[in-house]
Amino acid sequence: MNQSLKKIASLVNGKIIGDDSLIISGVARIDEAKKGELTFLYLSMFEKYFETTKASAIIVKPGFNKTRDDITYIEAEAPDKAFGKIIINYLSPSFPLEGIDETAFVHNSAVTGKNVALGKNVVVSAGCRIGDNVKIFHNTVLSDNVVIGDDSLIFQNVSIREKCKIGKRAIIHPGAVIGSDGFGFNPDKNGIYEKVPQIGNVIIEDDVEIGANVAVDRAALGSTIIRKGVKVDNLVQIAHNVVVGENTVISSQTGISGSTTIGSQCIFAGQVGLAGHLEITDNVIILAQSGVSKSIKKPGLYFGYPAKEMKTAHRLEAHIRNLPDYSERIKLLEKEIEQLKKQFDKKS
């Protein structure tokens, strides 16, 4: 890295307090940083490391209590975002991957090489399988083929099945499966399940990132659609005919059942489960391990099983925690009522 602190502070519009002549050799967590390195502090839970960190410089919020004079400070409104910008600018990894790996299977209808229909800077890594009638393209749309747009990075052992469309600047991590069959079965009169052919596809728009071992099922008819800017964590299941709105974030082990439509700018924490055929509006946050059984038409924070607005969920949780106490109080009240009844019976 070896960048001047002045240049780093300028990048994040930060104010230096201390030695502005420092040269920063690298970045690290506050509890692991060494001399010459830059770290950051924005959560109170990490303040316990402030007195012992060996970092030479630290990004903090304005007004932070700067009790150490052996550290140089950069004040920034959002230290975590400033730190992220520094990593992106100076330390983004360069992948030693290019073109189509010799161990990848790309259907023999694909055309590769110089001056042909190969998406610019597309990488298909080792062990990938890109399905039937493939064209990897640059400025070419072929509706019957798999399409992978410019600057997309397909990591190892990814499967992209027939008819699926991948936009520009997509990142698909190892083991993901795009276009697996939707879970479509109908029982006959004897209760034997017959497979319903899944003849749709998956459309992944620009700037989408798909985590490791994610399954995005093809639609029964039409398309399963992942809109622009969506970020999907590892081990997520997205079922047939789901639509995920722009810039939505889906955390690990979330499962979304078929034909559910999710709005833009939503956040689903880990292990959220959604029933099928629901509508989730824009700007909904669903906290971890919540189960969504009904459509959500109002933006906000939701939690619980079944998921409820946060205030309601907290009230219910408080009552549940107090149930043992309520039970004892009810028993005492029942005894008092029984005694009063006996006294009343004697008088009457």
- Chain segment 126-150, per-residue pLDDT in tens: 998 887 655 565 544 444 578 888 8
Q: Is the dihedral of CA 41, 64, 2, 88 positive or negative?
A: positive
CA 109, 110, 116: angle at the middle one, nearest 5? 125
Active-site option among 107, 138, 240, 277: 240
Beta strand 171-172 with 201-204: parallel, antiparallel or unpaired?
A: unpaired
Closest CA to 134 of 172, 101, 160, 169: 160
The verdict on residue 182 lying in a domain is: no
Does residue 262 sit within a domain?
A: no
Domain extent, residue 13, equals: 3-91
Q: Locate all alpha helices (DSSP H) within 50-185, ordered by sequence.
A: 79-91
Please indicate, yes or no, whether the overall pTM of this predicted structure exceeds 0.75.
Answer: yes
How far is the C-alpha of 151 from the C-alpha of 145, rounded, in Å? 18
Instruction: Write down which residue in 68, 91, 114 finishes a domain.
Output: 91
- For residue 20, being part of any structural domain is answered with yes
Number of domain units in the chain = 2
| DSSP 8-state symbol, 146 | -
Is 55 part of a structural domain of the chain?
A: yes
**16 lies in a domain?**
yes
Across the strands, what pairs with 222?
none
What average pLDDT score do residues 205-225 get? 97
| 138 catalytic residue (yes or no) | no
- 82 part of a folded domain: yes
Q: Does any domain span residue 326?
A: yes
> What is the domain-level CATH number for residue 14?
3.40.1390.10
User: What's the DSSP call for residue 219?
Assistant: P
Question: Is residue 348, in this structure, part of any structural domain at all?
Answer: yes
Last residue of a domain, one of 52, 70, 91: 91
| Percentage of the chain exceeding pLDDT 90 | 74
Widest distance between CA atoms in the chain: 106
Residues 231-273 pLDDT 10s = 999 999 999 999 999 999 999 999 999 999 999 999 999 999 9
CA angle 181, 187, 188 (to 5 degrees): 130
316 Cβ contact list (under 8 Å, min separation 6): 304, 308
Cα–Cα distance, 128 to 213 (Å, whole number) = 13
pLDDT score recorded for residue 345: 82
Picking from 46, 74, 91, the residue at the C-terminal end of a domain is: 91
Q: Is the peptide bond before 174 cis (omega within 30 degrees of 0)?
A: no
Residue 52 is given by DSSP the state T
The arithmetic mean of pLDDT across residues 273-281, rounded, is 98
Tell me the C-alpha distance between 178 and 174, whole Å.
12
